């Protein structure tokens, strides 16, 4: 298995040259585009890895399933569904073109920025600083890694330049979908996107989603299985932006990508996977990361369809 | 199991009143909205049924996965992917609002009308009559039912009133995506939509998709497993129109609905399901049919996510 | 004045190289892109011309104001307004992206293809051949040129390749906005677009619109002045496709362009103008033609705003 | 003439009941919907009025032509055109649905919110407070009314609730079209919208646009005639939101409406008009105000087309 992962990373190294690291946040442009790593955690606790699996990157959109999960845990399925929908939008992750008629919760997906920003308002906490602390705490707990923390310079860069997200948040405000102060919500969101992780962290979190909320070793039910299925189904249809259909064909299991270059792969009942390769395709998905997952899926017959 | 299906149909009968039978084709408006049936075919060949499982209805969009399959079998994955994409469009099944920039194959999905019409051109045959005959033959073979045939009055009604499909087909022509005569392609498409089936037929077809192309009894590989996964993945992300995300959450396996009221459910490695209940929700999906599948999914833990 | 027109054509000849002749109809691609002509007809009957003012070209969209006029004359303002709107659409002339919600008469403009096709159904006549004959007759009468006729090869080329217009017409049918056979309506429309004219013809027609329907010499009121104002106002806001705002700024009077390279300019109470230069800009407007009109407008202070 | 205005207001009073006062800003909802006034200022200086012509209302979008004018005066035509376009958008005044591809200056119109906000950045001044002061000064000078000032409670209400405008401004920022601090630009914009005027003020300002920048009494050229034509042409194609085409048909001269209920009408070379009637139609235009202008246009033959 370790040998296979090694071979997969070797075969996929060439694809890093086909993408480009994200540049919309200045800090992200400094990442080494040739990095490439993978970490696989099986149901039974065995783990395998290859390449730059210890390299740190910011979670960016990979944190969205965790925002969704905490919103579900804090406010329940009904409140989440009342605020955001579940349909794929057929549009890029930061799309702005909602028509006036279309801007209802039903047209907002938790895996695109608008939806994730809205869901921050369903996380409990006296302040948005508290809400973020609870999100970070959950992330650390699921990843079993108490040292996870915010990349301060990325966070500051996001906050400084995140005007598209500001526009989306004020649009939500204008339509009465959120009422809290925009800058506070965004501060929580920008911090969340800036949490640093490595492949192992993603694999461990994915592992618990794959295991429907139950900790693989302790057996503790960390959150209801229904929430895991909710998140996993959402990842299956919308986790890879407008490359989700393609990913379902070529890879075939729930996953979430981020513009930091990470992808978290959830193979229900079987394994959690974390990959990292920061050169992105036009949808914002890691080029080499998607290739690695496709090869792994084929090699281990992970396609769930 | 029979008892459970009976209970599920009994519990879901109330939902038929929440929908409306399709009226865009005059013939479809004559269907009895209170009909309700289900048929389940397990991996091992055992079958169960309840309600109006023998009632005939026209397949309508349920035929789309078969059009996609035959296009794959005749022309291969590359040709299919070159013509139509795989992303959810976030739009209704007969949506017309492609912007000029967007009308490329990448934005056409095989599970919406535009894509299915385009795929008819990748089915082999000297004439479109031949192509349709081959599609009908494949359908009969997968359903193991040589008596399946076109509902002539529905076909004529579709042909007479199908101007939106004509518009979509001429749009494809205008953009150079299809070159054959529009009326011939549409004749094939309208006939395909008008094939009559019952719940058992859908379950048998679904069963073979669930079994990745292998006949459950004879063991014959009727088509490559890769094509089954292609179809199943497409159904998972786009099979229920712009209710696909919701269906993934609440039911959790690949399925295809049609405005005739049928839904074909594919549970990989486990079973094929056919349901029928012609009263539709706003997306064009059977209201009671979706409810039956949700209850069945919960009862038998069929959710793949 | 003749000298000035000569100078304007000389100055604007360079702009023919900045555009491209229309190619969406094969026949149109054969036109000499360097042609350039202008004809001006004053209120008092004096006329001036320069360049290739006698060269023939097909009217294409320049015929749209005549379709609108005849629809008004035959069916009245109320019927026209019930079928098509008057707002600029902000979209190209053959735009296809109506959302389902938006496709009502209010969103269709008589100066884009969809609207002009729809208006053919409000022209009287037992057959669409008769309707076209009446349109041609009106055109000849307003241009005072009984020899105007259809360019047969352009007409056949339009009919053969006009699939986008077919798509638009079937869309109108699908939404119940037109009920006559699509191919008959389109035959009338394609013939209308293929009527040949020269700069003088356009100037003479424009002259009558400028004169609010009254023949400048005979004094005959050829159609109600209210219809002239209706057409002129529509030209002012939408006559130059999505270059209409720009044209209002730079030229400042009602005008209608066609992809054949002609522009008909209407200066209320003052003059009718015809220009011809077949190289088009991205909006489908004659590059050099717009420049000639801008220079003429400045020289003679024709801006009405 | 006074008698005629009296009759027109009497005839149009019934239409106030067909509209609704704006409610998107709480303060605007308090206006008396039955108010109705008109003021006409002829080229030669004679003036006529009827109804509530002295009632004060906030200018709202009627200030947009003044923002455009001052941007032209301060930064010139090239800079204005580089930042915003001139085409009608076919969309409501506060439309949000720009696709990513479409958001360029060419698709932003100075008569919708996005464009007007952007143009505030082309007004000169050390601070946005200074810029606003210069805009107010220009407004007072054109209206010949030094007592014009901001309605403080409307301004505060706009500032408090103007989240859609915040969203639009951050979108402009995200696309690099504006770089100044959003809240400062919006403060200038909100103040501008909240300037109080009466019918006479609008008529006087319109009068100078009608007179192409020259003061009717003193003969002073207050700004270049080319800027007046620029503004007037923009009003003709886009001044009445997505009711501009309708207004061109039924009234036939450049005009600008605001959700405060005022309309400023510019009849080139002939007169300036101010009307006020706060009940609005679905486009945001004064119902009775449009009717009054239509009757006046017909009575005095003001249609320029």
Assign 3-class secondary structure to A10-73.
Answer: HHHHHHHHHCECCCCCHHHHHCCCCCCEEEEEECCCCEEEEECCCCCEECHHHHHHHHHHHHHH
Told to judge if C35 belongs to the known catalytic residues of this protein, a careful annotator would answer no
C51: which strand partners?
A: C37
Closest alpha carbon within chain C to D298: C226
Under an 8 A CB cutoff, do A92 and D100 touch?
A: yes
* pLDDT averaged over every residue in chain C: 93
| Residue corresponding to tokens 């229920």 | B240
pLDDT band, residue B101 (cuts 50/70/90): very low
DSSP per residue, C32-84: -TT--EEEEEETTS-EEEEESTT--EE-GGGGHHHHHHHHHHHHHHHHHHHH-
What angle, 0 to 180 degrees and rounded to 10, lies between the N-to-C axes of helices A182-193 and A163-174? Answer: 140
| Residue corresponding to tokens 């039924």 | D250
Q: What distance in Å separates the CA atoms of residue B242 and residue A86, rounded to the nearest whole number?
A: 9
User: What percentage of residues in chain B have a pLDDT greater than 70?
Assistant: 95
Under an 8 A CB cutoff, do D97 and A92 touch?
A: no
Q: What distance in Å separates the CA atoms of residue A90 and residue D87, rounded to the nearest whole number?
A: 28
- Structure tokens, A72: 């579900």
In sequence order, which residues have a C-beta less than 8 Å from that of residue C103 and are 6 or more positions away? Answer: B96, C171, C175
Q: What are phi and psi for residue B241, nearest 5 degrees?
A: 55, -140
In sequence order, which residues have a C-beta less than 8 Å from that of residue D265 and are 6 or more positions away? Answer: D206, D251, D253, D254, D255, D272, D273, D274, D275, D293
- Please compute the mean of the pLDDT values over residues A138-143 and round it to a whole number: 98
Per-residue confidence (pLDDT) for residue C99, from 0 to 100? 46
Interface of D with C in 89-118 (CB under 8 A): 89-91, 107, 109
Neighbours of chain B (3+ CB pairs under 8 A): A, C
In sequence order, which residues have a C-beta less than 8 Å from that of residue C270 and are 6 or more positions away? Answer: C42, C43, C210, C302
Per-residue confidence (pLDDT) for residue D94, from 0 to 100? 65
Of B239, B238, B235, B286, the closest CA to residue B259 belongs to B286
Order of all β-strands in the sheet with A255-257: A47-51, A37-42, A271-276, A262-267, A255-257
Note the Cα B14 to chain centre separation in Å. Answer: 24
Q: What is the pLDDT of residues D123-163, one digit of tens each?
A: 999 999 999 999 999 999 999 999 999 999 999 999 999 99
Neighbours of chain A (3+ CB pairs under 8 A): B, D
Hey, which bits of D130-261 come out as E strands? Answer: 196-197, 255-257
Q: What distance in Å separates the CA atoms of residue B111 and residue B87, rounded to the nearest whole number?
A: 10
- Please compute the mean of the pLDDT values over residues C139-162 and round it to a whole number: 96
CB-based contact, A226 to chain D, within 8 Å? no
Q: What distance in Å separates the CA atoms of residue C7 and residue C17, rounded to the nearest whole number?
A: 18
Helix (H, G, I), strand (E, B) or coil at D84: coil
Per-residue confidence (pLDDT) for residue C101, from 0 to 100? 43
Chain C nearest-CA distance from D151, in A, is 32
The pTM assigned to this predicted structure is 0.94
Per-residue confidence (pLDDT) for residue B25, from 0 to 100? 78
- Is the confidence at residue B41, as pLDDT, over 90? yes
Q: Minimum mean pLDDT among A76-90, A247-261, C248-262: which range?
A: A76-90
Note the Cα B71 to chain centre separation in Å. Answer: 15
How many CB contacts within 8 angstroms connect chain A with chain B? Answer: 101
- Please compute the mean of the pLDDT values over residues A61-82 and round it to a whole number: 97
DSSP per residue, chain A: -HHHHHHHHHHHGGGGGGSB---SSGGGGGS-TT--EEEEEETTS-EEEEESTT--EE-GGGGHHHHHHHHHHHHHHHHHHHH---S--SS-TT-----TTT-SGGG--TTSHHHHHHHHTTS--SSHHHHHHHHHHHHHHHHT-TT--B-HHHHHHHHHH-HHHHHHHHHHHHTTS--S-HHHHHHHHHHHHTBEE-HHHHHHHHHHHHTTTB-TTT--B-S-HHHHHHHHHHHHHHTTGGGHHHHHHHT-S-EEE-TTSEEEEEETTTEEEEEE---B-TTS-BHHHHHHHHHHHHHHT----
Question: Any idea what DSSP says for residue C19?
Answer: S
Q: pLDDT tens track of chain D, all 305 residues?
A: 889 999 999 999 999 999 999 887 778 888 899 999 999 999 999 999 999 999 999 999 999 999 999 999 999 999 999 999 888 876 666 665 444 445 677 778 999 999 999 999 999 999 999 999 999 999 999 999 999 999 999 999 999 999 999 999 999 999 899 999 999 999 999 999 999 999 999 999 999 999 999 987 889 999 999 999 999 999 999 999 889 999 999 999 999 999 999 999 999 999 999 999 999 999 899 999 999 999 999 999 999 99
Q: With the C-alpha atoms ordered C61, C62, C68, C71, is the resulting torsion angle positive or negative?
A: negative
Under an 8 A CB cutoff, do B248 and A233 touch?
A: yes
- Structure tokens, A245: 């259909």
Of D143, D253, D270, the closest CA to residue D198 belongs to D143
User: How big is chain D by its Cα radius of gyration, in Å?
Assistant: 18
Q: What is the pLDDT of residues B51-85, one digit of tens each?
A: 999 999 999 999 999 999 999 999 999 999 999 98
Residue C98 φ/ψ region, left for φ over 0, alpha for ψ in the -120 to 50 degree band, beta for the rest? beta
Question: Any idea what DSSP says for residue C286?
Answer: B
- Is the confidence at residue B91, as pLDDT, over 70? no
Q: What is the pLDDT of residues C67-97, one digit of tens each?
A: 999 999 999 999 999 999 888 876 666 665 4
- The set of catalytic residues of B is 61, 64, 189, 241, 259
Told to judge if C189 belongs to the known catalytic residues of this protein, a careful annotator would answer yes
Per-residue confidence (pLDDT) for residue A117, from 0 to 100? 97
| Residue corresponding to tokens 């694999």 | A203
Chosen for mutation from D98, D170, D283, D284 (greatest number of chain A CBs closer than 10 Å) is: D170
Closest alpha carbon within chain C to D90: C89
Q: How far is CA A99 from CA A20, A95, A228, B65, D92, in A?
A: 31, 11, 32, 31, 10
Q: Which of A97-101, A216-220, B120-124, D23-27 has the highest mean pLDDT?
A: B120-124
**Is residue C61 within 8 Å of residue C28, measured between CB atoms?**
no
């Amino acid at each position: 298995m370790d040998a296979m992962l090694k071979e997969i990373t070797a075969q996929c190294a060439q694809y890093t040259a086909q993408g480009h690291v994200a540049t919309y946040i200045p800090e992200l442009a400094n990442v080494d585009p040739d990095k490439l790593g993978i970490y696989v955690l099986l149901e039974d606790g065995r783990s395998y890895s290859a390449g730059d699996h210890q390299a740190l990157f910011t979670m960016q959109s990979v944190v969205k399933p965790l925002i969704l999960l905490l919103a579900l845990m804090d406010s329940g399925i009904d409140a989440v569904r009342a605020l955001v929908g579940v349909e794929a939008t057929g549009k890029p992750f930061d799309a702005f073109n909602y028509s006036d008629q279309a801007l209802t919760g039903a047209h907002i997906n938790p895996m695109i920025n608008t939806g994730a920003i809205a869901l921050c308002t369903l996380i409990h906490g006296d302040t948005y600083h508290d809400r973020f602390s609870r999100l970070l705490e959950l992330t650390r707990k699921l990843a079993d890694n108490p040292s996870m923390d915010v990349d301060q310079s990325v966070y500051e860069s996001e906050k400084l330049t995140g005007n598209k997200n500001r526009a989306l948040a004020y649009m939500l405000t204008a339509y009465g979908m959120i009422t809290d102060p925009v800058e506070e919500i965004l501060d929580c969101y920008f911090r969340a996107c800036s949490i640093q992780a490595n492949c192992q962290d993603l694999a461990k979190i994915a592992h618990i989603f794959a295991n429907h909320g139950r900790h693989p070793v302790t057996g503790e039910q960390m959150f209801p299985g229904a929430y895991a299925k909710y998140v996993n189904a959402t990842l299956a249809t919308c986790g890879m932006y407008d490359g989700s259909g393609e990913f379902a064909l070529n890879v075939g299991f729930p996953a979430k990508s981020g513009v930091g270059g990470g992808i978290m792969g959830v193979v229900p009942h079987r394994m959690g996977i974390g990959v990292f390769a920061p050169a992105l395709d036009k949808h914002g998905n890691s080029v080499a990361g998607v290739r690695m997952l496709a090869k792994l899926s084929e090699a281990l017959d992970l396609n769930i369809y």
